[in-house]
Amino acid sequence: MGDTVLINMPFYTVHAPNLEIGLLKSLLNQSSVETAVKYYNLLYLEETGDYGSYMEIVDSPVEVLYSDWLVSDELVLGKRFAGSEYLEYAKRNGLSDNLSKLHPQMRESLVKFIRQVIESDDLLTYKLLVFSAKYMNLLSSLYLAKLAKDSNPNLRILVFGELVSGMERATKLMELFPFIDLICYEANYRLLREQVLSLLTGHSFFVADGCVLAQKRNSSRAELSTIRMQDIPLDQLPVPDYDDYFEIADSESYEFLLPFETSRGCWWGKCTFCSAKSLQRNHEVKSPGRIVDEMLILSRKYKVLRFDVTDICLPPDVIKPLCERLSSLDCDFDIFWEARADLCKDDLIALFGAGVRTLQVGIESFSSKLLRKIGKGTDQLGNVYFLKSAIEAGIDIVWNLMYGFPEETEEDYEQTISVMQHIVHFTPPANLVKFRAERHSMYHEEGRCTVPAPVYELVLSNENWHTDFADVACYFSILTSKINEEKINELKRVYDEWKSNHSRYRLDYLVGPGFVKIVDKRSPETVEYTLCGWQGETYLMCGHIAYFRKVHDKLKEKFDIEEDSLREFLNFLVGKGLIITEEDQYLGLALRYTSSYDVRE
């Protein structure tokens, strides 16, 4: 047994191994460091046997900190706020009634499990405990670290990961939890490896930019930045080692995913509400050849075909060469990726051919004005066309609608609601999400949100911690536009109806010789339209975003149609909800009929 153990705590998902732990283990193995891995999240689920409740916590709103609250009484003695006050806040912000009722049992089982780890596992025999701090497992990690340090003061505690990113947050966490010896707050695997090697070769952790040392908590920025290590290029990182996960994961109870990265950082980086770009170094992409080789190695070794690509955003430059390589393989991969809504239909078709079956996409709104204000780089028609193209390409789309932006107006709500009512036959949003101001977002960097969300006091404050938690918070309060509550409720009503009734809605078109038939089943009564000659060709030309001038020029060559006649016909289609328009551009909403049932019945 070696001196180092890498630890993954509840409530990290049980469906996949931890990519960061897999990479760090492989790096340490290359340096001849024998490293153990503890997937305590899997062992906890095995002990409780309550898969449904576990995954409900995994999927609970991250901003209510439910998983952290479950163990907060053990870490924060003499808390200022009662559990009832927290639960009232959490339920207002999306916590389910079920988790609200289950919290006594969940808290008891989690605390009991962590204490049993200290009493019965071999954790205290190691020299260094390394915790991966992810969403849903930060305080459970710190509680185990505290118990371990109390039992064996000679142990060293290292924490890294997205939940300790940023120097200010890392420094405050060190202040609040003094049993931590080192926090690496940047995604830098060279630095992580060298820190571990330094400790294991008889030295101590060293001062470097990107981490905070226990003995340097009160030091200035200059003192903390004496060494700057360049991270290892993505193509030079080893293939992650997931052996420890697959040795104990239960294939009969849940499906497996292989976490995998093809890039880091965000090539776009202009969305005002997103913290992603600030959390990562400059954008870097693996070479297509390396990506394919790594996927084959992982799939062959673990006999899994489903990949969860952890990239912030699918790099556009890699699509063509990567898809060419993947589509040439005789493998039935099922790949999940995150992407922007500006991919063209040809890109989506190529991605489907390469094995991409699901894309998570940032739609956020159907108001072009709001989309410009929040830096999305997309517009209303572009978002709708993306959703339409993805369906036609065969790719499932996971996307959210957001509301509550500081810049939004009632007009933004009206535009979004209008579009929603016309595209109910498209994939509905997975969630309707209220805007939250995040650390490292442009709102935060510009000083527009400095007051932590109330949840931090409810979870972390006690009589001894005199702090406003501004340095430790991930989420902040911010003044938003005073939108009429009726508009917000109308948005929620349309969203709920779409989600509930989506399977009943259809809007299809069929092409015949010299005509196009449209069958509209978006309302209780089916309506059919038969468009002949130039009218049918007009609708087909609007299958993608089309400018009025280009449509007219093309029709005039063949049919000699006047502008007024074309505009009158397009206005008719808009009025029937068969087409949407903005800035003299038009987009047809019907999907070409491909279903097995007869839409004409």
Per-residue pLDDT, 206: 93
- Tens digit of each residue's pLDDT (9 = 90 or more) over 373-404: 999 999 999 999 999 999 999 999 999 999 99
Instruction: Average the pLDDT over 63-83 and give the result.
Output: 87
Instruction: Provide the sign of the torsion angle of the four alpha carbons 445, 473, 437, 312, taken in this order.
Output: positive
Per-residue pLDDT, 42: 97
What are 413's strand-pairing partners? none
Instruction: Average the pLDDT over 570-599 and give the result.
Output: 87
- Tens digit of each residue's pLDDT (9 = 90 or more) over 175-223: 889 999 999 999 999 999 999 999 999 999 999 999 999 865 454 443 4
> In the predicted model, what is the mean pLDDT of the chain?
92
**pTM for this prediction:** 0.93
Domain with CATH 3.40.50.2300 in the chain: 4-60+96-235
Q: Before 426, cis peptide (omega within 30)?
A: no
Evaluate if residue 499 carries a pLDDT over 80: yes
Instruction: Kindly report the CATH class assigned to 257-435+480-501.
Output: alpha beta
- Name the one residue in this structure whose structure tokens are 């810049």: 407
Domain with CATH 3.20.20.70 in the chain: 257-435+480-501
Per-residue pLDDT, 599: 37
d(CA 137, CA 134): 6
| 3-state SS string for 96-160 | CHHHHHHHHHHHHHHHHHHHHHHHHCCHHHCCEEEEECCCCCHHHHHHHHHHHHHHCCCCEEEEE
Per-residue pLDDT, 450: 79
d(CA 214, CA 437): 30
The H-assigned helical ranges of 31-79 are 40-48, 51-58, 66-75
Per-residue pLDDT, 598: 43
Per-residue pLDDT, 224: 47
Instruction: Kindly report the CATH class assigned to 4-60+96-235.
Output: alpha beta
Per-residue pLDDT, 331: 96
d(CA 309, CA 413): 33
Q: Do residues 265 and 280 make contact, with C-beta atoms less than 8 angstroms apart? A: yes
What are 184's strand-pairing partners? 160, 211
Per-residue pLDDT, 509: 97
Per-residue pLDDT, 600: 36
Predicted confidence band of residue 466 (pLDDT cuts 50, 70, 90): low
Q: Do residues 368 and 582 make contact, with C-beta atoms less than 8 angstroms apart? A: yes
Q: Burial of 287 by CB count in 10 Å (0-12 exposed, 13-18 middle, 19+ buried)?
A: middle
Predicted confidence band of residue 465 (pLDDT cuts 50, 70, 90): low
- Tell me how far the alpha carbon of residue 505 is from its chain's centroid: 28
Predicted confidence band of residue 225 (pLDDT cuts 50, 70, 90): low
Evaluate if residue 82 carries a pLDDT over 90: no
Angle at 452 between CA 87 and CA 183, to 5 degrees: 100
- Tens digit of each residue's pLDDT (9 = 90 or more) over 115-150: 999 998 899 999 999 999 998 999 999 999 999 999
Per-residue pLDDT, 277: 55
Instruction: Kindly report the CATH class assigned to 507-592.
Output: mainly alpha
Q: Do residues 491 and 416 make contact, with C-beta atoms less than 8 angstroms apart? A: yes
Evaluate if residue 452 carries a pLDDT over 60: yes
Q: What share of the chain is helix, strand, coil (3-state, %, to 5)?
A: 45, 15, 40
Domain with CATH 1.10.10 in the chain: 507-592
- Tens digit of each residue's pLDDT (9 = 90 or more) over 259-314: 999 999 888 888 988 887 554 457 899 999 999 999 999 999 999 999 999 998 88
Evaluate if residue 596 carries a pLDDT over 70: no
